[in-house]
A and B are shown apart, each in its own frame.
Chain A
Amino acid sequence: MSRFDLKGWSGKLLRVDLTAGTCTDEVLNEQWAKEYLGGRGLGTKYFTEEVAADVDPFSAENKLILATGPLTGTYGAANGRYMVITKSPLTGTIASSNSGGYFPCELRYAGYDMVIFEGKAEHPSYLQIHNNKAQLMGAVHLWGKSTQDTEDLILAEFHGDAKVAAIGPAGENQVSFAAIINDKHRAAGRTGIGAVMGSKNLKAIAVRGTGGVKIADPAAYREAAIEAYGMLKQNPVSGQGLPALGTPVLVNVINQLGALPTNNFQKDTFDGAEAISGETLASTYLKRNKGCMGCIIGCGRVTGLAGARFSGDGEGPEYETLFALGSACGVDDLAAITKANYICNEYGMDTISVGATVACAMELAEKGLVSEQEIGMPLSFGDADALVKLVEMAGQREGFGEKLAMGSYRLADSFGAPELSMSVKKLEFPAYDGRGIQGIGLNYATSNRGACHVRGYMISPEVLGLPEKLDPQATADKAVWTKIFQDFTATVDSSGVCLFTTFAIGAPQFANFCTAATGAEFTEETIMEIGERVYNMERVFNLKAGVDPSQDKLPKRILEEPISDGPLKGEVNKLDQMLPEYYQERGWSAEGIPTDERLQTLGLA
């Protein structure tokens, strides 16, 4: 048996064969760990080595990988993250979806870096892990339950201190944008990973661990943490904006810029922005601020509703949710948005995709392309009650919810108007219009999982001015910056640390952390190279899966319909000016195919 001698990583993964009902420990591949770190990188490496790119996402041959990084479960920045990797039923691309909380750290303390699920359970099941021991349990009694009820029931029957990740009814019903929810309210949200889990009859993973994460050089690690803490505290975004108001701090910022997509991207300023802003949330439904484990930022918002119309408790809404369930649907009713957010967490659904899909349905209705009878209710932008109903119907796949559960692209396509889906590679846009902010548009077009802001957050330089300010309307230099952001993000996603730390800390700090934690040597250069390797590995998988470079595009509205209002009125995205340069920066052919030389340099060929 191979050995694993490095620190940082636990050096062990758990392989769960759901068909056979077996759980087996394996030594982690040390070479791969050094080349791909963990999380998104290492998880995708295992996935692409073991699963054919043309696999049907809902077949038993697809696998589902939960992967922490070597820094998960430690302190230093915001180290409570893990990544879920599979093939997406929504996009047909590689899927990886990130979440934070307590669950990812507990997996480390239980002795595992990763869990690989393969096959399909005959009956509803859940996995119990208790300090290096794992077993599959029946979950018939949990099937149909909300993610929160599932967690409570498991804590009662397994261990009161266990941490749980679960799917809700949306994952069971294979809603194409179903999420996996951990610690009751934190979502590995995007690309439908919860639907894959549901297709495997896997309801939840519960972990209890009392072990530790070993560090190669504790003194150096502590020094690295003190440096990073100072930088995070002094940074205006990670030290002030996010702790004070959470991600909803962005509602007013992006609205004032004129890039807050409204009414399915028909407008870019929202009259109701103030009503759904972080400032308003803080003075209404906010109960308190919360951090994931090992986080210095604490952007989480615990909220509660106790009104006559809506009641409940939970976390959120985040900025993306305030856009998707708010401005995108023209809804300025913060209580309704918050309630719809809770429903998403209970059913286990991505708030961005479900909100954007409802927004798409609203435009289809507005344009007379879908009838009131088909929807089962009158529907127009701004209808908060309809929004709340439709979100629940999507989770249940009930009535028109059956259509919504396909996602906005398949919904719009089924009514003959695919151009009304605001998506790339069938993944719905997040909350920044790529017409007014050129670089984020380029990132959406080229992201390996479709339109996603957290694959290359160009908002950081283009709007927030970090690490330096770029003109959002200019196209010059956006290709090189997008590549840097995408590559560095891929490394951060592989480390177990939260992307939000990168407002303040960069590759040198990650090199220090990884070297001190593992005992292997990492430099600023190798940190960036890991990200580029991960990015190209994902790209190669997507190409094999049939998602060709013609899919590196943006919807017609973003390319051809100028912004109709606000400070950025008249702007469109100039993708054709940036994409050739982007391919060149990546060392890909003019057609967008990674060259053999490039892949060889990165150790991928």
Chain B
Amino acid sequence: MQKLIRIEPSKCIGCKTCEMACSFKHTGEFMPSRSRIFNEVFLDEAKFITVTCMQCDDPWCVKACPKSAISKEMPSGVVIVDRDRCVGCRTCVSACPFGMIKYVPTLGKVDKCDLCGGDTPECVSFCPTGCLTLEEEDTPLRQKVLRFVNAMKDGQMEA
């Protein structure tokens, strides 16, 4: 199975360390605007939501690219931009429904999460709460199912 960055929002504290770590690794600067992972803070609702590229099975960006610069590598399943082929036309930026691929003016190319090319992703390494993990198994999903079935179990015990 494909390893993906798994995100458990309940553990997030909104510190944006993932954005800092990502941009620092890939640009040499602490520059959240260049991060490939997004930690959004909703102060009023006390919600912290983190999103990044989920390396789609059938990616919009791959289909949209007129220069065949984007491909889904196997067996890793990572969706990769070939910078030599990318002409910076931004078609993929329009195509991705999630906004997870972006054009970088200083490069003249697009940029997206590549799971740090086989290393443990830097965001996962530096996440202080374990909100981010790199796993084959979708543990956060399993935890949600367990919470649900436990509520069901408790409900039945009352009856």
A290, B16: Cα distance in complex, Å: 11
Q: Is B21 among interface residues, defined by CB-CB distance under 8 A? A: yes
- Residues of the A chain whose Cβ atoms lie less than 8 Å from the Cβ of B23: 212
A213, B46: Cα distance in complex, Å: 28
| In the complex with contacts A210-B33, A212-B29, A213-B30, A313-B44 CB distance below 8 A | yes
Q: Is B69 among interface residues, defined by CB-CB distance under 8 A? A: no
Q: Is B157 among interface residues, defined by CB-CB distance under 8 A? A: no
Q: Is A211 among interface residues, defined by CB-CB distance under 8 A? A: yes
Q: Which of A75, A229, A288, A296 touches B30 (beta carbons < 8 Å)?
A: A75
Interface residues of A in 210-268 (CB under 8 A from B): 210-215, 218, 222, 225, 229, 233
Q: Which of B15, B29, B33, B46 touches A313 (beta carbons < 8 Å)?
A: B46
Q: Is B143 among interface residues, defined by CB-CB distance under 8 A? A: no
- Residues of the A chain whose Cβ atoms lie less than 8 Å from the Cβ of B60: none
Please determine whether B13 and A75 come into contact, CB atoms closer than 8 angstroms: no
Please determine whether B16 and A294 come into contact, CB atoms closer than 8 angstroms: yes
Please determine whether B46 and A212 come into contact, CB atoms closer than 8 angstroms: no
Please determine whether A213 and B29 come into contact, CB atoms closer than 8 angstroms: yes
- Residues of the B chain whose Cβ atoms lie less than 8 Å from the Cβ of A218: 24, 28
Q: Is A184 among interface residues, defined by CB-CB distance under 8 A? A: yes
**Size class of the contact patch on chain A:** 35 or more
- Residues of the B chain whose Cβ atoms lie less than 8 Å from the Cβ of A213: 29-31
Q: Is A102 among interface residues, defined by CB-CB distance under 8 A? A: yes
| In the complex with contacts A75-B21, A75-B126, A291-B15 CB distance below 8 A | yes
- Residues of the A chain whose Cβ atoms lie less than 8 Å from the Cβ of B59: none
Q: Is B97 among interface residues, defined by CB-CB distance under 8 A? A: no
Q: Which of A184, A290, A304 touches B14 (beta carbons < 8 Å)?
A: A290
- Residues of the B chain whose Cβ atoms lie less than 8 Å from the Cβ of A289: 13
Contact with A along B16-28 (1 / 0, CB 8 A): 1100110110011
Q: Is B41 among interface residues, defined by CB-CB distance under 8 A? A: yes
Could you tell me the distance in whole angstroms from the C-beta of B129 to the nearest C-beta in chain A? 7
Q: Is A94 among interface residues, defined by CB-CB distance under 8 A? A: no
Please determine whether B13 and A295 come into contact, CB atoms closer than 8 angstroms: yes
Could you tell me the distance in whole angstroms from the C-beta of A426 to the nearest C-beta in chain B? 33
**Size class of the contact patch on chain B:** 20 to 34
Please determine whether A293 and B128 come into contact, CB atoms closer than 8 angstroms: no
A292, B39: Cα distance in complex, Å: 13
A302, B126: Cα distance in complex, Å: 23
**Most chain A beta carbons < 10 A, residue from B14, B21, B29, B30:** B30
Please determine whether B46 and A287 come into contact, CB atoms closer than 8 angstroms: yes
Contact with B along A187-231 (1 / 0, CB 8 A): 000000000000000000000011111110010001001000100
A7 (CB) vs chain B CBs: closest residue? B29
Q: Which of B15, B30, B46, B48 touches A73 (beta carbons < 8 Å)?
A: B30
A184, B46: Cα distance in complex, Å: 12
Q: Is A583 among interface residues, defined by CB-CB distance under 8 A? A: no
Q: Is A532 among interface residues, defined by CB-CB distance under 8 A? A: no
A302, B44: Cα distance in complex, Å: 9
Q: Is A74 among interface residues, defined by CB-CB distance under 8 A? A: yes
- Residues of the A chain whose Cβ atoms lie less than 8 Å from the Cβ of B28: 214-215, 218
- Residues of the A chain whose Cβ atoms lie less than 8 Å from the Cβ of B27: 212
A59, B128: Cα distance in complex, Å: 45
Q: Is A89 among interface residues, defined by CB-CB distance under 8 A? A: no
- Residues of the A chain whose Cβ atoms lie less than 8 Å from the Cβ of B41: 102
A210, B34: Cα distance in complex, Å: 8
Q: Is B43 among interface residues, defined by CB-CB distance under 8 A? A: yes
- Residues of the A chain whose Cβ atoms lie less than 8 Å from the Cβ of B32: 105, 109
| In the complex with contacts A75-B17, A185-B43, A222-B24 CB distance below 8 A | yes
Could you tell me the distance in whole angstroms from the C-beta of A498 to the nearest C-beta in chain B? 11
Please determine whether A296 and B29 come into contact, CB atoms closer than 8 angstroms: no
Q: Which of A109, A184, A295 touches B31 (beta carbons < 8 Å)?
A: A109
- Residues of the A chain whose Cβ atoms lie less than 8 Å from the Cβ of B14: 290-291
Please determine whether B15 and A212 come into contact, CB atoms closer than 8 angstroms: no
Contact with B along A401-421 (1 / 0, CB 8 A): 000000000000000000000
Q: Which of B15, B44, B46 touches A293 (beta carbons < 8 Å)?
A: B15
Please determine whether B46 and A74 come into contact, CB atoms closer than 8 angstroms: no
Q: Is A298 among interface residues, defined by CB-CB distance under 8 A? A: yes
Excluding A109-B31, A215-B28, A313-B44, 15 further A-B contacts by CB distance (< 8 Å) are A74-B24, A75-B126, A105-B32, A184-B43, A210-B33, A211-B33, A218-B24, A222-B24, A291-B13, A293-B16, A294-B16, A294-B17, A295-B15, A296-B15, A302-B46
A-B contact pairs, 17 of them (CB 8 A): A80-B15, A102-B41, A212-B23, A212-B31, A212-B34, A215-B24, A215-B29, A218-B28, A229-B126, A289-B13, A295-B17, A295-B128, A296-B17, A296-B128, A300-B13, A302-B46, A313-B46
CB-CB nearest 5 A-B residue pairs? A212-B31, A212-B29, A210-B33, A291-B15, A298-B13
> Which residue numbers of B lie inside 8 Å of A, CB to CB?
13-17, 20-21, 23-24, 27-34, 41, 43-44, 46, 48, 126, 128-129
